[in-house]
Amino acid sequence: MSEERTMIVSKIERGTVIDKIPAGKSLQLIYMLHITGDEMKTVAVGIHVNSASMGKKDILKLTNRDLSGAELNKIWLIAPDAVISTIKDYQVSDKRPISSMRSGNEFEGVLKCNNPTCATNFNEPVKNKFILMDRDPLLVRCYYCDRVMIEDNIKDQLGM
Amino acid sequence: MINHIVSIKDIDKETILDIIQYAAKIEANPEVYAEKQKGKILSTIFFEPSTRTRLSFESAMLRLGGKVIGIADPKTSSLKKGESISDTIRMAAAYSDIIVMRHFLEGSGRVAAEYSSVPVVSGGTGIQEHPTQALLDLYTIYKEFGRIDNLTIGLLGDLRYGRTIPSLLYAFAKFNNVKIYLYSPQQLRARMTVLSDVEDKLEYRVEDNLEDTIDQLDVLYVTRVQKERFPDEQAYERVKGSFIISPDTLKNAKENMIVMHPLPRVGEIEYDVDDLPQARYFQQAKNGVWTRMSILDKLLEERK
């Protein structure tokens, strides 16, 4: 039995498993997904778990929790190779790499533009949209005003 | 072709050439196009003052046989009351067949395009871009040299806040072997984000001294250095002199070099330069009408 199976308690009845998170990044994801511990839902966190393909990885098991499109975008920013499994009745009902659940380098619903004179900050009915330019360090560009935001700005907004 | 013109980044080289070559055709025989857009209406929505851009778009539409409605003074319209860009544009799209909008916010062009059912042309969006100014500048250069490729262009003045500069750099980056020399006070250098967009496609150099390199230029493009951009009057006074073009500045320039300026100028090109063979800024302003006729006609035809 692998270390993961022995460590991450029992199977969950219903919920979501986020696997193949880069080692050490799961706590950031927990913050970004607003998992505070107050929801009375079981969360299992594996940090630096042995992985055949990654050497070390992190894994999150969230009971009774689904992910929204915006949350998928957040996970994709931090863990582009993550694999998302949906669990129903203790069985994996769906298992897909996050890269197949969204397309392109554009993403919505995660960040606000930090350019004070960007039109998206002025009561327009638009969704903020960004283009990922680089991941290490994170670098994104506002689709509307072209402002580039660096990792520090992004982390501030995401509460990382 | 494209549905809107809000950024030069959205337009490929073929489309740019198509627009400027069509502008040349219109300029050669404007009477042929005099009724081309009869019955069509252009809305000019200017959230920020403009003389040249608005007038030349209006002139362009009238010369195509169309009509013009518009808001020239934001103080007298609902724009003052804080109406959103999206609502204003939806209204304008209901009243007209094509819209030209200038707005002081970056990103306003893309917001407008998203909410418009008719083509939107940016007349400038904050410090972000001024795509049609760049297109008419390219037309001016093309008329002079018959090409955009293989030219050396000097951009001088406020390269940081001048909204035409990013549009020009994005446009030049689509052509081959264009060399760019950038001359500006240190605090007004081109934005890193803009330069990093073009660095793989364009050879550019930040130059300190125009005098030493002016003999290499085919085009010297001058922009306004505004006093408001400096922390104090003295800082402005210190650098201002280095960015004023006089006949003496041009003494080592190539004979067929041209001096351009988007206008209005406030002293950065001396009046004595106007009569020199290199001065091209007034023709450049006139080229704005042909280029904007080309843009309006192409966008309107695309929808037929």
> Is B107–A119 a contact, with Cβ atoms under 8 angstroms apart?
yes
For position B78, what pLDDT does the model report? Answer: 62
Tens digit of each residue's pLDDT (9 = 90 or more) over B23-68: 999 999 999 999 999 999 999 999 988 889 999 999 999 999 999 9
The CATH 2.30.30.20 domain(s) of chain A lie at 106-158
Summarize pLDDT for A137-159 with one digit per residue, the tens: 899 999 999 999 999 999 888 87
Residue A87 has pLDDT above 50, yes or no: yes
Q: How confident is the model at residue A135 (pLDDT cuts 50, 70, 90)?
A: confident
Higher local confidence (pLDDT), B287 or B242? B287
Rounded CA-CA distance B191/B228 in Å is 18
Range in A126-130, B14-18, B19-23, B238-242 with the lowest mean pLDDT: B238-242
- List chain B residues with CB under 8 Å of A146: 106-107, 128, 166, 193-194
Domains of chain B from N-terminus onward = 8-130+288-302 (3.40.50.1370), 132-284 (3.40.50.1370)
> How many other CB atoms are there within 10 angstroms of residue A82's CB atom?
26
Contact list in B for residue A144 (CB cut-off 8 A) is 106-107, 110-111
What percentage of chain B reaches a pLDDT higher than 90? 83
**All CATH 3.30.70.140 domain ranges in chain A, comma separated:** 3-100
Return the pLDDT at B79. 62
> What pLDDT is attached to residue A5?
52
**pLDDT at res. B242:** 77
Torsion sign across C-alpha atoms B111, B113, B117, B121: positive
Domain A3-100 has CATH 3.30.70.140: yes
Contact at CB, A117 and B114, closer than 8 angstroms: no
Contact pairs from chain A to chain B, CB under 8 Å: 55
pLDDT band with cut points at 50, 70 and 90 for residue A1: very low
User: What does the pLDDT read at residue B49?
Assistant: 85
The Cα B270–Cα B141 span in angstroms is: 22
User: CA dist B36 to B27, B63, B260, B264, Å?
Assistant: 14, 9, 31, 31
Local confidence band at B1 (pLDDT 50, 70, 90 cut-offs): low
DSSP state of B189: P
Distance from C-alpha of B265 to C-alpha of A148, rounded to nearest angstrom:
31
CATH C-level class of A106-158: mainly beta
The secondary structure of B46-108 as a DSSP string is ESS--SHHHHHHHHHHHHTT-EEEEE--GGGSTTTTT--HHHHHHHHHHH-SEEEEEESSBTH
State pLDDT tens for residues A13-38. Answer: 899 999 999 999 999 899 889 888 88
Chain A residues with at least one Cβ partner in B under 8 Å: 113, 115, 117-120, 122-126, 141-148
Q: Using CB atoms, which residue from B82, B111, B166 is nearest to A119?
A: B111
The per-residue pLDDT of chain A, averaged, comes to: 89
> What residues have CB less than 8 Å from B104, skipping those under 6 apart?
A117, B47, B48, B126
B85:A144 CB<8 A = no
Which residues in chain A are contacts of B160 at CB distance < 8 A?
none
Tens digit of each residue's pLDDT (9 = 90 or more) over B198-254: 999 999 999 988 999 999 999 999 999 877 777 788 888 877 777 899 999 999 999
**pLDDT tens track for B142-194:** 999 999 999 999 999 999 999 999 999 999 999 999 999 999 998 899 999 99
The SS3 call for residue B151 is: coil
**Whose CA is closest to A147, among B196, B268, B10?**
B196
> pLDDT: is B76 or B211 the higher one?
B211
